[in-house]
C-alpha cells in the first residue's frame, strides 16, 4: 500500500498549493442593492434598456420562483442560501459595451493573462492586427459584455453573435421566439431565478445553411463580492447550420460562497448541429471546504429538426458545488444527442452532474460518456436519465460512466435512470468504479515515471475519450486544468 | 432445384440485385464469385428470407414453389439452408437443444415423425464423430465464445444434422485456415449426391479447389455477368474481377 | 430527477382504513403493544409510500390506497391443490399458519409467529412505511431457526391468498429466519392465491458466521392481488445469502430486498426475474450494503414484459468506507415483447471506499432480429423461436438457482406461463 499512501500525500501537497486563479481585479463596480424583489427586476430591466415584454417575462418568472422550492434530490449539501443577501446586478462603471478594445480596462486584460487565456486569443483581445485567430471571443466580465471581436466576419456570414441584452433590443423577434422555449421559465428553481434576474450572456443565431466560419467562445468571470451570476445563453441554428461554441470559466478566490445559476438553451433545426464545449474551473473553495462557487446550471438543447445534432462536452474541475445536467431533447427523427463529461472533485468539492437524453423522434441516437474522478474528501455523482418515448422507434442509447477514486475519504456515486417505452429501442448502460490499479502505477514507475506523472498519465488516459471531443483550442487548457486540479490530487 | 428469374432487390431503397437469372439443377453444385459489394451476401439473404431486404421483382422457385413470399422457417422446412458468413451468437441457447428444436420443427412441417432426445443425441453424436468434432460442441451455447473457425464448423454440423436439399454457403471460407477449410469442404462434399444442391458463394477461388463446382457464375454490379465451367474460377483468379466486369459491360 | 421542486407530501394516503382496523384488532393481536403502537404512529404520519418518495418513483400504490381491505375470514377452506411436498412444508392461508396442511421440518425449529411474537431490530417500522403497516397488523408468520452446523435441507414456505370473500382481504405475515453458525437451508417460498387481496409480508433473515441460506421466491399470486414484500437480511462473516425471486403473478407487485454484509468475507446474491403481461406491474428493488471488507455481491435481474406490463428494477449497491476490497456486480436486462410494455431501471452505485471493484450494466431492447432470423432459417417457427430466445434470456438468471427442486418449481411455473402465453 506504499504507493497508495504516496498518492494521497501527493494529492494533499497539491491541494495545499492553493488556487492558481485566486486573484481579484480592482474595478469600480456599479452595484444594485442587495435582495430580490419586483423592484430589483424592474431596475435590471431598465438598466438593460429592455422592452416591456421582457420585463413582463422576468416578472412572471419571479412569480413562479416564489412558489417553488430549492431541489433536494442531488447528493450535495450546503448551508441555506439567503437569496435576499445577494446583489442581483453588478456592472463595471463604464458605459455599457465599449466601442473598441482600447476602452477595455487594462486590469481586465491582465486578468485574462493570469487566467491563461490562450495567447492567440489574448492577442485578439488586445487588438493585435493580423493575429490570425479563428476564434471569436465575447468576454463577459461579471455581468456586462466588454469585448466582442470578429463581429464583422460573422455578420458577413449572416451569423449573429452578441450579448443577449443587445439581442433583446436588436433582434426581439428571434429572442421572443426562442427564449424559454427549451428551458421554460418555471422549469426548475434555479432556471426560474435565472429567468427573473439574468443580466447577461450570449446570443448566437446561425441562419439556414451557414457553417459558422469560426469557433465562438465566451469567458465568464465571477468577480464582484457577493454577486450572483446569472448568465443566459441562447444558441439557435437554422436548417443545416453549424456552430461550435466554447465556454470557459474561472473565478477569483473568495471567502464567501457565490451563487451562479446560468441557463443555456440550444435549438437545432433540421440538419443543424451545435457543439457546445465547457471548461469550468471556478474557485472550488479552500482545502477545508471554505468558500467556493455554487454552480447550479440548467443546460438543455432541443434537436427540433430531423437529423439535427447537439453535442455537449464538459470538463468540470472547479466550483464548491456543481449541479448541472446538460441535456438533449431529441424531437426530430434521426437526431443525435451526445454528452461527454469529465468531472474532477478534490478537497471538499461536491459535484452532482450528468445528463438527460429524451428520445421522442424515430431512430434518434444518444451517447453518454462520463468520467468522474474523486479525491480528497470530495463527493462526485453521475446522475443521468435516458427516456425512450413510445414514438421513438429504433432509438439507441449507449451510456458509459466510469468513476475513479483517489484516497480513502472520497465518494463516487452513479445514479442512472433508464425508462423505455418502445420495444424497438435499444438502451445499453455500463458503469464501473475503481481506483488506479497498483500494477498500472508500478508498470509506469518501473519505466521511470514519477508517482505524480504516473497518476497523471493514467487519469489522462481515463479521460481520453472525453478530452478528444474538445476543440483543439480547449483541449490544451483542459489538460492543464486536469493537471492543476488533480495536480494536487494526481499529478 | 433452384430457379431464379430476373430477381431484383434493394436495401433501404438502394437497388442491390439488378436482375439475377440463375438455375441450379438438382444434384449440382454451383459457385457464385464476385467482388465485394457485388450483391453476393444480398442474394443469399434474399433466398433465405431476411426481412430488411426488399424484393422488388422477379422470382426464385425451389422445386417449382415460389420461395420469395415464404417465411424463413418455411424455406428451411423445404430444405433450404443458409450457412452464414457471420454465424449469430445465441447466449443461453444450448447447441443440442437448438438443433433438435430446429430438426423437429422441420420434420413436423414435412409431416415426419419427431425425434426424441435419445434418438437425436445418437444421430448428432454420429455426425460429430464423422466430422471429427468434439462432443462438447453440443453442450456449448450456440456460437458463443466460438472461434471463427469453430463457428463455421458449427454451421457444417448443422447442415449435416438438418440435411438440407439446397445449401447456400455465404463466404463460408472467410477467416478460415487451411485445415478448417478442408473440414468444411469435406462436410459439404459428404452431402453431395443426387438430392443435394449447393450454391457456394465466395470471393476467392481457393474454396473451389476443395468443393469443385459444376458451374461457376460471376456476379458483378448486381447481375450475373458470366457463367462457365470450373475453369472460370481459375481464369478469374488470374485476371481479376475488374477486367471481367469491364468486358461484360 | 424531478426538475420542479415539490413541497413535501401534504397528507398520508391509504392510512385510515388500516389504522381503523388496528384500533379494532389491537387487543387481540399478539406481542408487544408498545412496538405496535409506535409502528401505528409512524404509519399514521407517513401512510403508504407515494411516488414523491424517490424509492417509489416508479411504483404507484394509489390502487392499494383506493381499496378498503378487510380482515380475512378466520376459517377458510382452500381448494388449492399443492403438489406433494418433497420435504418440510409450512402452509399459511391468508397469512395464518395451517398445521393441518403442513409438514414440519426436521433440521430447523419452527414456531408460528402468533405463538412467539417478537419484532427484531432488522426490519424497522420507522425506516419503511410497509414495515410499519406490517408491524402494526402482523398476526402470524414463520419463525424458523436452524441450529449451528445443521443443514436443514429444503423447507417450503407456502402462502395462499384464499380470497373468495365479498371484500378484498389484507394480511401482513411476519417471518423470521435465523441460521446459526455454519448452518444451511434452502427456503422455497411459493406465493399463490385467488381473488383480490393484499399480501404484505415482512421477513427478517439472520445469517450467522459461515452459514448459507438459499432463498427462492416463486411469486405467482392471483392476477388481481397486490403483493408487497419486504425482506431484510443481515449477513455475518463468511455467510451467504443467495436469493432468487421470480415474479409471475399479482396485478401489482413490489419485492424489496435489503441485505447488509456486516462481517468480512460475506456474499449476497440477489437474482431475480420478472415475467409479466396484461396490465401487470412488477417492481424488484434491492439494496446491498457493504459494511465490511472483502465481501462480494452479485445480481442478475431479468425483465420480460408483454402486453401493457410495466417492469421496474431499482438496485443500489452501497459501499461503506470500511468495506475495502468490495467486489460488486450487477446486471439488469429487459426484453420488451410488445409496443405497449414499459421498463424503468435505476441501477445505482454509492461508493465511499476506494479499493473496490464495482460495476453495473443495464440493457433494454427487443428480441434480436438477427437471432430470430437465424433460428427461423433453421426451420424453427417464429413463435417457437421467440419462446426459445426468451427462455434463453431468462435461463441466464435461472441457472443461478442451484437447488434442483427449487429450480424445477420455477421451471414448472414458467412453462405454465408459456402455455398460456402461446395459447
pLDDT in tens, C33-84: 999 999 999 999 999 999 989 999 999 999 999 988 888 876 666 566 777 8
- Percent with pLDDT over 90 in chain A: 45
- Choose the closest CB to C379 out of B50, B87, B106: B106
Q: Cβ C354–A188 below 8 Å, yes or no?
A: no
- The average confidence (pLDDT) of chain B is 88
Q: Which cell numbers in the block locate residue C239?
A: 455467510
Of A209-213, A462-466, B41-45, C140-144, the one with minimum mean pLDDT is: A462-466
pLDDT digit string, tens, across residues C221-274: 999 999 999 999 999 999 999 999 999 999 999 999 999 999 999 999 999 999
pLDDT above 90 (res C333):
yes
pLDDT digit string, tens, across residues C9-31: 445 788 899 999 999 999 999 98
Nearest to A210 by CA among A153, A264, A162, A135: A153
- The average confidence (pLDDT) of chain C is 92
Do residues C183 and C150 lie in contact, with contact meaning Cβ atoms separated by under 8 Å?
A: yes
- Looking at chain A from residue 363 to 382, which residues have their Cβ under 8 Å from any Cβ of chain C? none
What pLDDT does residue C409 have? 94
For residue A372, name the pLDDT band (cuts at 50, 70, 90).
Answer: very high
Q: Which of C263, C286, C306 is where one domain is finished?
A: C263
User: Do the domain assignments include residue C302?
Assistant: no
Give chain C positions within 8 Å (CB) of B71.
376, 381-382
Residue C216 CA to residue C115 CA, distance in Å, equals 26
User: Do the domain assignments include residue C277?
Assistant: no
Same domain, C258 and C389: no
Give chain C positions within 8 Å (CB) of A71.
2-3, 5
B53 at the C interface (CB within 8 A)?
no
Give chain A positions within 8 Å (CB) of C1.
73, 325, 356, 383, 385, 417
C335/chain B closest Cα distance in angstroms: 14
Do A and B touch, 3+ Cβ pairs within 8 Å? The answer is: no
pLDDT above 50 (res B67):
yes
User: Do the domain assignments include residue C321?
Assistant: no
pLDDT digit string, tens, across residues C270-320: 999 999 999 999 999 999 999 999 999 999 999 999 999 999 999 999 999
Q: Which of C263, C291, C311 is where one domain is finished?
A: C263
* Average pLDDT over every residue of C363-390: 92
Give chain A positions within 8 Å (CB) of C366.
423-424, 426
B70 at the C interface (CB within 8 A)?
no
What pLDDT does residue B32 have? 95
Do residues C276 and C249 lie in contact, with contact meaning Cβ atoms separated by under 8 Å?
A: no
* Average pLDDT over every residue of A279-288: 82
Residue B32 CA to residue B152 CA, distance in Å, equals 19
A33 at the C interface (CB within 8 A)?
no
User: Do the domain assignments include residue B246?
Assistant: no
Q: Cβ C362–A390 below 8 Å, yes or no?
A: no
For residue A450, name the pLDDT band (cuts at 50, 70, 90).
Answer: low
- Choose the closest CB to C380 out of B81, B91, B101: B101
Which carries the bigger pLDDT value, residue B6 or residue B52? B6
Domain count, chain C: 2
Which carries the bigger pLDDT value, residue A334 or residue A469? A334
User: Do the domain assignments include residue C268?
Assistant: no
Do B and C touch, 3+ Cβ pairs within 8 Å? The answer is: yes
pLDDT above 90 (res B28):
yes
What pLDDT does residue C4 have? 35
Nearest to A214 by CA among A470, A471, A466, A468: A471
Between the CA of residue A340 and those of A75, A354, A411, A476, what are the distances in Å?
21, 9, 21, 17
pLDDT above 60 (res A59):
yes
Q: Which CATH number does the domain housing residue B162 bear?
A: 3.40.50.300
Q: Cβ B158–C378 below 8 Å, yes or no?
A: yes
Q: What is the pTM of this model?
A: 0.82
C396/chain B closest Cα distance in angstroms: 6
Same domain, C375 and C254: no
- The average confidence (pLDDT) of chain A is 80
What pLDDT does residue A254 have? 53
- Choose the closest CB to B93 out of C369, C381, C392: C392
**Polymer length in residues for chain C:** 423
pLDDT above 60 (res A117):
no
A7 at the C interface (CB within 8 A)?
no
A188/chain C closest Cα distance in angstroms: 5
Q: Which cell numbers in the block locate residue C368?
A: 434480436
pLDDT digit string, tens, across residues C147-187: 999 999 999 999 999 875 678 899 999 999 999 999 999 99
User: Do the domain assignments include residue B206?
Assistant: yes
pLDDT digit string, tens, across residues A77-116: 988 888 888 878 776 554 333 444 455 556 555 555 555 5
- Percent with pLDDT over 70 in chain A: 70
Residue B191 CA to residue B207 CA, distance in Å, equals 16
Residue C62 CA to residue C69 CA, distance in Å, equals 13
Which chains have 3+ CB pairs within 8 A of A?
C
Which carries the bigger pLDDT value, residue A125 or residue C60? C60
What pLDDT does residue B148 have? 84
* Average pLDDT over every residue of C88-95: 94
The one-character DSSP state at C180 is: -
What ipTM did this prediction achieve? 0.87
What pLDDT does residue A491 have? 36
Helix, strand or coil, per DSSP, at residue C169: strand
What pLDDT does residue B13 have? 87
What pLDDT does residue A106 have? 61
Q: Cβ C350–A428 below 8 Å, yes or no?
A: no
For residue A362, name the pLDDT band (cuts at 50, 70, 90).
Answer: very high
Residue A27, exposed/middle/buried by CB under 10 A (0-12, 13-18, 19+)? middle
What pLDDT does residue C10 have? 47
What pLDDT does residue C318 have? 96
What pLDDT does residue B175 have? 77
Give chain C positions within 8 Å (CB) of B49.
373, 376-377
Return the residue of C nearest to A428 by Cα: C363
Return the residue of B nearest to C375 by Cα: B102
Nearest to A3 by CA among A480, A486, A454: A454
Domain count, chain B: 1
Return the residue of C nearest to A384 by Cα: C1
Which carries the bigger pLDDT value, residue C163 or residue C218? C218
For residue A289, name the pLDDT band (cuts at 50, 70, 90).
Answer: confident
C353/chain A closest Cα distance in angstroms: 6
A434 at the C interface (CB within 8 A)?
yes
pLDDT digit string, tens, across residues B198-213: 999 998 888 899 999 9
User: Do the domain assignments include residue B143?
Assistant: yes
Q: What φ, ψ does residue B81 adopt, rounded to 5°?
A: -125, 130
Q: Cβ C359–A430 below 8 Å, yes or no?
A: yes
User: Do the domain assignments include residue C357?
Assistant: no
Q: Cβ C351–A433 below 8 Å, yes or no?
A: yes
Helix, strand or coil, per DSSP, at residue A170: helix
pLDDT above 50 (res A416):
yes
Residue range of the domain that includes C377:
368-423
* Average pLDDT over every residue of A209-217: 86
Q: Cβ A423–C365 below 8 Å, yes or no?
A: yes
What pLDDT does residue B37 have? 83
Of A99-103, C97-101, C135-139, the one with minimum mean pLDDT is: A99-103
Of A83-97, C2-16, C99-113, C206-220, the one with minimum mean pLDDT is: C2-16
Residue range of the domain that includes B170:
11-19+38-179+191-224
B156/chain C closest Cα distance in angstroms: 13
For residue C2, name the pLDDT band (cuts at 50, 70, 90).
Answer: very low
Q: Cβ C373–B72 below 8 Å, yes or no?
A: yes
Return the residue of A nearest to C355 by Cα: A435
User: Do the domain assignments include residue B212?
Assistant: yes
Q: What φ, ψ does residue A224 adopt, rounded to 5°?
A: -65, 145
Q: Cβ B90–C374 below 8 Å, yes or no?
A: yes
State the number of CA atoms in the 13 A half-sphere of B92 facing the CB.
15
Q: Cβ C362–A418 below 8 Å, yes or no?
A: yes
User: Do the domain assignments include residue C342?
Assistant: no
Amino acid at each position: 500500500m506504499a504507493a497508495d499512501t504516496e498518492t494521497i500525500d501527493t494529492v494533499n501537497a497539491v491541494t495545499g498549493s492553493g488556487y492558481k486563479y485566486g486573484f481579484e481585479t480592482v474595478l469600480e463596480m456599479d452595484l444594485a442593492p442587495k435582495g430580490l424583489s419586483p423592484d430589483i427586476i424592474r431596475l435590471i430591466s431598465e438598466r438593460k434598456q429592455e422592452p416591456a415584454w421582457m420585463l413582463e417575462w422576468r416578472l412572471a418568472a419571479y412569480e413562479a420562483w416564489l412558489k417553488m422550492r430549492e431541489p433536494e434530490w442531488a447528493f450535495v449539501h450546503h448551508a441555506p442560501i439567503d437569496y435576499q443577501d445577494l446583489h442581483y446586478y453588478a456592472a463595471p462603471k463604464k458605459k455599457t459595451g465599449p466601442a473598441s478594445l482600447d476602452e477595455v480596462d487594462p486590469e481586465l486584460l491582465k486578468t485574462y493573462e493570469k487566467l491563461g487565456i490562450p495567447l492567440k486569443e489574448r492577442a485578439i483581445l488586445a487588438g493585435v492586427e493580423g493575429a490570425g485567430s479563428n476564434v471569436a471571443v465575447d468576454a463577459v466580465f461579471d455581468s456586462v459584455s466588454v469585448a466582442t471581436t470578429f463581429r464583422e466576419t460573422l455578420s458577413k456570414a449572416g451569423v449573429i453573435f452578441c450579448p443577449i441584452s443587445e439581442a433583446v433590443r436588436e433582434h426581439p423577434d428571434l429572442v421572443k421566439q426562442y427564449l424559454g422555449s427549451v428551458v421554460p421559465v418555471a422549469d426548475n428553481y434555479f432556471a426560474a431565478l435565472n429567468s427573473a434576474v439574468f443580466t447577461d450572456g450570449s446570443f448566437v443565431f446561425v441562419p439556414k445553411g451557414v457553417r459558422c466560419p469560426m469557433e465562438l467562445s465566451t469567458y465568464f468571470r465571477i468577480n464582484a463580492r457577493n454577486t450572483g451570476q446569472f448568465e443566459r445563453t441562447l444558441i439557435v441554428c437554422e436548417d443545416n447550420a453549424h456552430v461550435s461554441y466554447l465556454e470557459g470559466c474561472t473565478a477569483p478566490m473568495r471567502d464567501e460562497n457565490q451563487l451562479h445559476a446560468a441557463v443555456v438553451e440550444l435549438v437545432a433545426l433540421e440538419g443543424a448541429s451545435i457543439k457546445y464545449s465547457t471548461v469550468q474551473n471556478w474557485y472550488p473553495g479552500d482545502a477545508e471546504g471554505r468558500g467556493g462557487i455554487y454552480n447550479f446550471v440548467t443546460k438543455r438543447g432541443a434537436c427540433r429538426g430531423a437529423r439535427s445534432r447537439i453535442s455537449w462536452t464538459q470538463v468540470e474541475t472547479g466550483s464548491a458545488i456543481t449541479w448541472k445536467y446538460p441535456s438533449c431533447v431529441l424531437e426530430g427523427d434521426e437526431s443525435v444527442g451526445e454528452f461527454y463529461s469529465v468531472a474532477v472533485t478534490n478537497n471538499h468539492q461536491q459535484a452532482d452532474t450528468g445528463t438527460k437524453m429524451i428520445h421522442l423522434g424515430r431512430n434518434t441516437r444518444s451517447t453518454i460518456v462520463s468520467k468522474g474522478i474523486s479525491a480528497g474528501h470530495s463527493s462526485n455523482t453521475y446522475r443521468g436519465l435516458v427516456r425512450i418515448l413510445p414514438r421513438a422507434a429504433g432509438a439507441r442509447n449507449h451510456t458509459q460512466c466510469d468513476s475513479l477514486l483517489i484516497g480513502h475519504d472520497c465518494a463516487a456515486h452513479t445514479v442512472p435512470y433508464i425508462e423505455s417505452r418502445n420495444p424497438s429501442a435499444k438502451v445499453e448502460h455500463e458503469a464501473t468504479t475503481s481506483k488506479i490499479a497498483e500494477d498500472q502505477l508500478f508498470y509506469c514507475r518501473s519505466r521511470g515515471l514519477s508517482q505524480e506523472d504516473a497518476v497523471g498519465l493514467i487519469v489522462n488516459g481515463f479521460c481520453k475519450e472525453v478530452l478528444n471531443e474538445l476543440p483543439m483550442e480547449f483541449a490544451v487548457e483542459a489538460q492543464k486544468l486536469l493537471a492543476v486540479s488533480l495536480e494536487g490530487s494526481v499529478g | 432445384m433452384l430457379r431464379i428469374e430476373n430477381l431484383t432487390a434493394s436495401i433501404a431503397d438502394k437497388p442491390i440485385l439488378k436482375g439475377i437469372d440463375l438455375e441450379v439443377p438438382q444434384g449440382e453444385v454451383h459457385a457464385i464469385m464476385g467482388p465485394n459489394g457485388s450483391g453476393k451476401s444480398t442474394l443469399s439473404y434474399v433466398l433465405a428470407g431476411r426481412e430488411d431486404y426488399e424484393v422488388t421483382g422477379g422470382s426464385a422457385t425451389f422445386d417449382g414453389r415460389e420461395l420469395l413470399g415464404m417465411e424463413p422457417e418455411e424455406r428451411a422446412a423445404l430444405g433450404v439452408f443458409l450457412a452464414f458468413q457471420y454465424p449469430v451468437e445465441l447466449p443461453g441457447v444450448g447447441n443440442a437443444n437448438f438443433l433438435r428444436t430446429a430438426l423437429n420443427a422441420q420434420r413436423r412441417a414435412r409431416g415426419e415423425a419427431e425425434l426424441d432426445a435419445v434418438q437425436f443425441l445418437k444421430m448428432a453424436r454420429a455426425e460429430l464423430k464423422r466430422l471429427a468434432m468434439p462432443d462438447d460442441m453440443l453442450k456449448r451455447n450456440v456460437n458463443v465464445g466460438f472461434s471463427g473457425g469453430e463457428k463455421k464448423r458449427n454451421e457444417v454440423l448443422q447442415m449435416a444434422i438438418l440435411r438440407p436439399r439446397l445449401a447456400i454457403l455465404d463466404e463460408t471460407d472467410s477467416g478460415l485456415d487451411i485445415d478448417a477449410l478442408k473440414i468444411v469442404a469435406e462436410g459439404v462434399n459428404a452431402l453431395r449426391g443426387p438430392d443435394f444442391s449447393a450454391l457456394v458463394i465466395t470471393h476467392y477461388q481457393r474454396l473451389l479447389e476443395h468443393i469443385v463446382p459444376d458451374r461457376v457464375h460471376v456476379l458483378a454490379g448486381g447481375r450475373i455477368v458470366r457463367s462457365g465451367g470450373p475453369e472460370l474460377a481459375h481464369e478469374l483468379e488470374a485476371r481479376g474481377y475488374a477486367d471481367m466486369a469491364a468486358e461484360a459491360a | 430527477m424531478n426538475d420542479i421542486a415539490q413541497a413535501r407530501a401534504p397528507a398520508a394516503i391509504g392510512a385510515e382504513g388500516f389504522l381503523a382496523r388496528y384500533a379494532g384488532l389491537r387487543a387481540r393481536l399478539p406481542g408487544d403493544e408498545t412496538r405496535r403502537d409506535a409502528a401505528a404512529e409512524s404509519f399514521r404520519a407517513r401512510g403508504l409510500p407515494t411516488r414523491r418518495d424517490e424509492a417509489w418513483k416508479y411504483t404507484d400504490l394509489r390502487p392499494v390506497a383506493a381499496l378498503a381491505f378487510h380482515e380475512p375470514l378466520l376459517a377458510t377452506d382452500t381448494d388449492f391443490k399443492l403438489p406433494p411436498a418433497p420435504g418440510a412444508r409450512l402452509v399459511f392461508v391468508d397469512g395464518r399458519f395451517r398445521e393441518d396442511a403442513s409438514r414440519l421440518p426436521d433440521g430447523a425449529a419452527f414456531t408460528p409467529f402468533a405463538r412467539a411474537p417478537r419484532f427484531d431490530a432488522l426490519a424497522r417500522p420507522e425506516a419503511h412505511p410497509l414495515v410499519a403497516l406490517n408491524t402494526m397488523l402482523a398476526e402470524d408468520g414463520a419463525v424458523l431457526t436452524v441450529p449451528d452446523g445443521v443443514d436443514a435441507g429444503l423447507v417450503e414456505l407456502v402462502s395462499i391468498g384464499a380470497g373468495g370473500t365479498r371484500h378484498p382481504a389484507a394480511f401482513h405475515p411476519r417471518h423470521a429466519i435465523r441460521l446459526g453458525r455454519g448452518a444451511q437451508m434452502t427456503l422455497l417460498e411459493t406465493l399463490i392465491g385467488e381473488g383480490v387481496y393484499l399480501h404484505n409480508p415482512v421477513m427478517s433473515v439472520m445469517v450467522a458466521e459461515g452459514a448459507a441460506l438459499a432463498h427462492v421466491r416463486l411469486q405467482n399470486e392471483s392476477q388481481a392481488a397486490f403483493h408487497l414484500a419486504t425482506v431484510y437480511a443481515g449477513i455475518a462473516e463468511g455467510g451467504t445469502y443467495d436469493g432468487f425471486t421470480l415474479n409471475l403473478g399479482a396485478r401489482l407487485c413490489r419485492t424489496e430486498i435489503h441485505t447488509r454484509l456486516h462481517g468480512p468475507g460475506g456474499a449476497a446474491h440477489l437474482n431475480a426475474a420478472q415475467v409479466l403481461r396484461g396490465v401487470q406491474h412488477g417492481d424488484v428493488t434491492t439494496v446491498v450494503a457493504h459494511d465490511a471488507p472483502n465481501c462480494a455481491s452479485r445480481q442478475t435481474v431479468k425483465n420480460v414484459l408483454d402486453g401493457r406490463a410495466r417492469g421496474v428494477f431499482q438496485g443500489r449497491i452501497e459501499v461503506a468506507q470500511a468495506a475495502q476490497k468490495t467486489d460488486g456486480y450487477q446486471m439488469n436486462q429487459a426484453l420488451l415483447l410488445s409496443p405497449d410494455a414499459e421498463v424503468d431501471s435505476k441501477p445505482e452505485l454509492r461508493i465511499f471506499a476506494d479499493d473496490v471493484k464495482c460495476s453495473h450494466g443495464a440493457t433494454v431492447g427487443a428480441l434480436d432480429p438477427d437471432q430470430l432470423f437465424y433460428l427461423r432459417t433453421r426451420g424453427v417457427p417464429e413463435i417457437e423461436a421467440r419462446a426459445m430466445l426468451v427462455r434463453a434470456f431468462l435461463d441466464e438468471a435461472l441457472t443461478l438457482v442451484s437447488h434442483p427442486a427449487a429450480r424445477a418449481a420455477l421451471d414448472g411455473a414458467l412453462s405454465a406461463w408459456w402455455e398460456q402465453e402461446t395459447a
